[in-house]
Structure 1
Amino acid sequence: MTAEHTPVVRTRFAPSPTGYLHLGGARTALFSWAYARHNQGVFVLRIEDTDLERSTPEAVQAILDSMQWLDMRPDEGPYYQMQRMDRYREVIAQMLAAGTAYYCYSSPEEVEAMRERARARGAKPRYDGTWRPEPGKVLPPIPEGRKPVVRFKNPQDGATGWNDLIKGPISFDNTELDDLIIARPDGTPTYNFCVVVDDWDMRITHVLRGDDHVNNTPRQINILRALGAELPQYGHVPMILGPDGEKLSKRHGAVNVMEYDREGYLPEAMMNYLARLGWSHGNDELFSREQLVQWFDTRHLSKSAAQWDPKKLNWVNAHYIRQMPDAELAARVAPRIAALGGDPAAVDLPAAMALLKERAETLNQLAQAAMLFCGPYQPADEALRAQHLDEAGRAVLHDFAQRAAALPDWNTEAISGVVHEVLEARGIKMPKLGIPLRVAVTGRKQTPSVDAVLALIGRETVLQRLAGI
């Protein structure tokens, strides 16, 4: 096939809006997005909202917010299944007419009895095909007033298999697959059927999804074949485990993607970390979105489950914080400072970020650290003052204040020069000046480099606080 006739790669992410977007779903979306981008293809977002009891507008918005935060904007969509009901009914009518689907009048109780009988003889519990039309078969009389379901007429011999993009060859005997319901008694279509029609109509070429869908795949393949549709390629991604080796859940901490935004993680870091959960490019741990797109392929997706590691995520996030330009970092941290009751305008915030970011793992930690400059001044308590602002300490600070007041320029380098002058003139070590200086000016015993801290606080405020001891 020549390049111009190669079909465009089309992937999709199809969450159900029954809650927030969890980490496993976000990773699946990321892999689908990256595969489409790598192949100059199309990434489709589809909201599978047919579960009317559990689907909510708030959950839809949570999914959209998470996708936007991670900067995985779809090329098409979002499409909503509830807006496509007429299309599903149209296809069901076509299948009934073609004989690839049929009406089944068995009640739920009758179907359960069929399953019990199968269990009793050691067979797989399943619908027994009572209403399946076959040549020469006489169907039972239709029960009066009973509304039927519509069942797909699944092949009864052979096997249905595919070469999974991640797991390799997978096959199911068709005898294991009963005639699944594709429309309920009220006419509403079922999940497996809607997915098939959507993938067909949207010309999806590659389906990357969690391996909890492996058992759905042969059923969906058989329906697609009955419709005469092209089959997409399927890849099933293993689940994410918690640090304890169990399936990732709420007890392991935040599993809602937007919770990580609230906790101060950068979307760039989350993207990087999620990509490494089950995919690799050599030994590279840190990479940009552009590199992910350039490198991504399904051959390096892992067949085994990935393990969530909060410490590793913090390490990745800290890297992205350190790499971010100070002005951009300040813009991201400012709202978090304000939320703590601080004033982001009280200091040269980009300069404060430059000072503080080497020690921070999250934006929230940065905001908390910046309260040294942006929050109300809290003088040291009496115990700290008594320990460090005794007569000797005050004499050292008085010397420092006199020298600092005479500085022509107020900056880190100039203040550092004064610090060294005082140390040399008095023959003392740094703690004898640094700790009293911190206690007097910041109310704290520990801060980042004291000369940089004083430079940011400002000459007038520093000298005023020193005069008040």
Structure 2
Amino acid sequence: MKIKTRFAPSPTGYLHVGGARTALYSWLFARHFRGRFVLRIEDTDLDRSTQPAVDAIIDSMNWLNLDWDEGPYFQTKRFVRYNAVIDDMLSNGTAYRCYCSKKRLETLRKEQIARDEKPRYDGRCRDSHAYHVDDKSCVVRFRNPQNGSVMFNDLIRGPIKFSNQELDDLIIRRIDGSPTYNFCVVIDDFDMAITHVIRGEDHISNTPRQINILKALGAPVPAYAHVSTILGDDGKKLSKRHGAVGIMQYRDEGFLPEALLNYLVRLGWSHGDQEIFNIDEMKQLFSLEAVNKSASAFNNKKLLWLNHYYINHLPASYVATHLAWHIKQQGIDTRTGPKLAVLVKLLGERCKTLKEIAISCRYFYEDFSEFDSNVSKKYLCQAAAPALETVHANLASLTEWTPAAVHTAIKQTTEALQVSIDKIGMPLRVAITGVSQSPALDITAYAIGKSRCLARIIQALDYIACRARGNTDQA
């Protein structure tokens, strides 16, 4: 049997972590068995489905590198096929027209609830033709079996059983002629030869209904696996308060797709005590048997830790391709200054996200006219002037501009003035970067460049002199 899975989101909102994890599990299962993976957009909810949501789903899948072999298919483009099947079912008696009014169904529901009964359609139109008037609007219902039960072996949860008496005759075509979600899913899985349906546990109650329709059509029944819910770290339903945002927002916040995928795969699945998995390892090792039945808790700190790991362990040239987007968002011109791959190595240890790198790197590429006021008051004072003048002279005399040469010039300054590195290091750092934190001074100065460093030291000395004149005037 050729394994074939599908990811079938509804475009009523952005793709969130729960949907992305389901997509990842379905994709990994197909890739593990060298099968096929289908992307299907279930857009039958015409009022809530939007094109921006469709675009966000596809953008998210592309960013995560979860490629599909077929699709994207759209249910709204398959209405002719769905209605043809429904017409056949009406002809062979596995479906029937229902003329019950909305008012009658609401009254029936209230009466059933008052009797502590499970609300369900009472089958009034199932066998009686008394209300079948041709010119009266109607829905079409599936004739669900009234006896027996539906049992399936969930590949994550084990055997699950539903009594057919608990399942009413669900509507498969609305009054306006549009087919309903549960029916479209069945026909899609049948037509697309889906062998394994991997989806969220909120679909468990849909499964027996869909199995019964498949059996009524004489279609093969796929294997089902229902993945547990993702909760916040406080045990409550995941929400925006916990960071439950659209997948592309993780891109916007500076996460690498490898980090998010690694985090998501471990959010309910494990392989021993291993924490770090590259894509090839995921495809090789993933199995549904190892997926946990219980809910998982989303932890932003763990995701940040993984992102920091991948920034520093993936090839810097690759990380730079993702960093470039963030640099552009900051409006930084990188034509003069270190290559982005070099920047990754410079700031990767200090920054946990690509956005943080982009925000922190401006002084490598752009000159500045102002210093951080709090930092400059502390480090760019009159006492720092001799150190900056001496280090400027030593740096200016260098015939080659390398980190080692810069380091030697700084060391010579400390020896000449007989002071500790702190007396020179912090004023020099503030002078050439404008801030108090940066990578090691020798590699920072090297990356900024000789001419820029020398010009910025002069700028700092002018700033010190200006402050001194101001204090004298005030006195």
Scaled to the shorter chain, the TM-score interval is over 0.9
Paired residue type of 1:238: S
Q: Deviations over 1:48-94 (max 9, x none)?
A: 11111111222111111111111111101111111111111111111
The match for 2:403 is: 412
Which of 256, 263, 277 pairs up with 2:267?
277
The match for 2:320 is: 330
TM-aligned CA deviation for residue 408 of structure 1:
2.3
Helix, strand or coil for the counterpart of 2:361?
helix
Give TM-score, length-normalised by structure 2: 0.93
Q: Which segment is superposed worse, 43-52 or 338-347?
A: 338-347
Question: Is residue 178 of structure 1 aligned with residue 178 of structure 2?
Answer: no
Give TM-score, length-normalised by structure 1: 0.94
Which of 417, 420, 430 pairs up with 1:429?
420
Q: Which segment is superposed worse, 375-384 or 190-199?
A: 375-384
The match for 2:255 is: 265
Q: Deviations over 1:130-185 (max 9, x none)?
A: 1112xxxx542435742121111111111111110111111111110011111112
Which of 356, 365, 372 pairs up with 1:365?
356
Question: Is residue 396 of structure 1 aligned with residue 390 of structure 2?
Answer: no
Superposed counterparts of 1:118-129, under 5 Å: 118-129=112-123
Helix, strand or coil for the counterpart of 2:141?
strand
Q: Which segment is superposed worse, 441-450 or 261-270?
A: 441-450
Instruction: Confirm or deny: 8 A CA contact 1:130 1:139 kept in the other structure.
Output: no
Runs of 4+ off more than 4 Å: 381-386
Measure, in 1, the Cα distance between the counterparts of 2:250 and 2:426: 36
Which of 42, 46, 49 pairs up with 2:40?
46
Instruction: Confirm or deny: 8 A CA contact 1:341 1:375 kept in the other structure.
Output: no
Question: Is residue 345 of structure 1 aligned with residue 367 of structure 2?
Answer: no
Paired residue type of 1:18: T
The match for 1:460 is: 451
Paired residue type of 1:273: Y
Query: Kindly tell me: are residues 427 and 95 of structure 1, through their superposed partners in 2, closer, same or farther at Cα, counting changes over 3 Å?
Result: same
Query: Kindly tell me: are residues 405 and 226 of structure 1, through their superposed partners in 2, closer, same or farther at Cα, counting changes over 3 Å?
Result: same
Measure, in 1, the Cα distance between the counterparts of 2:434 and 2:219: 72
Query: Kindly tell me: are residues 356 and 176 of structure 1, through their superposed partners in 2, closer, same or farther at Cα, counting changes over 3 Å?
Result: same
Q: Deviations over 1:352-380 (max 9, x none)?
A: 32111111111100101111212332443
Paired residue type of 2:77: Q
Instruction: Confirm or deny: 8 A CA contact 1:11 1:44 kept in the other structure.
Output: yes
C-alpha RMSD of matched pairs (Å): 1.7
The match for 2:78 is: 84
Query: Kindly tell me: are residues 392 and 42 of structure 1, through their superposed partners in 2, closer, same or farther at Cα, counting changes over 3 Å?
Result: same
Superposed counterparts of 1:87-236, under 5 Å: 87-133=81-127, 139-143=129-133, 145-236=135-226
Instruction: Confirm or deny: 8 A CA contact 1:240 1:248 kept in the other structure.
Output: yes
Instruction: Confirm or deny: 8 A CA contact 2:431 2:456 kept in the other structure.
Output: yes
Question: Is residue 61 of structure 1 aligned with residue 55 of structure 2?
Answer: yes
Question: Is residue 33 of structure 1 aligned with residue 27 of structure 2?
Answer: yes
Measure, in 2, the Cα distance between the counterparts of 1:60 and 1:265: 22
Query: Kindly tell me: are residues 195 and 406 of structure 1, through their superposed partners in 2, closer, same or farther at Cα, counting changes over 3 Å?
Result: same
The match for 2:466 is: none
Q: Deviations over 1:252-300 (max 9, x none)?
A: 2351011111111111111111111111111111111111001111001
For these two proteins, the number of residue pairs brought into alignment is 459
Unaligned runs of 5+ in 1: 1-6
Q: Deviations over 1:34-61 (max 9, x none)?
A: 1000010010111111111111222111
Instruction: Confirm or deny: 8 A CA contact 1:334 1:344 kept in the other structure.
Output: no
The match for 2:468 is: none
Measure, in 1, the Cα distance between the counterparts of 2:26 and 2:374: 59
Q: Which segment is superposed worse, 107-116 or 263-272?
A: 107-116
Paired residue type of 1:68: N
Identity among equivalent pairs (%): 50
Measure, in 2, the Cα distance between the counterparts of 1:155 and 1:437: 82
Unaligned runs of 5+ in 2: 462-475
Paired residue type of 2:42: E
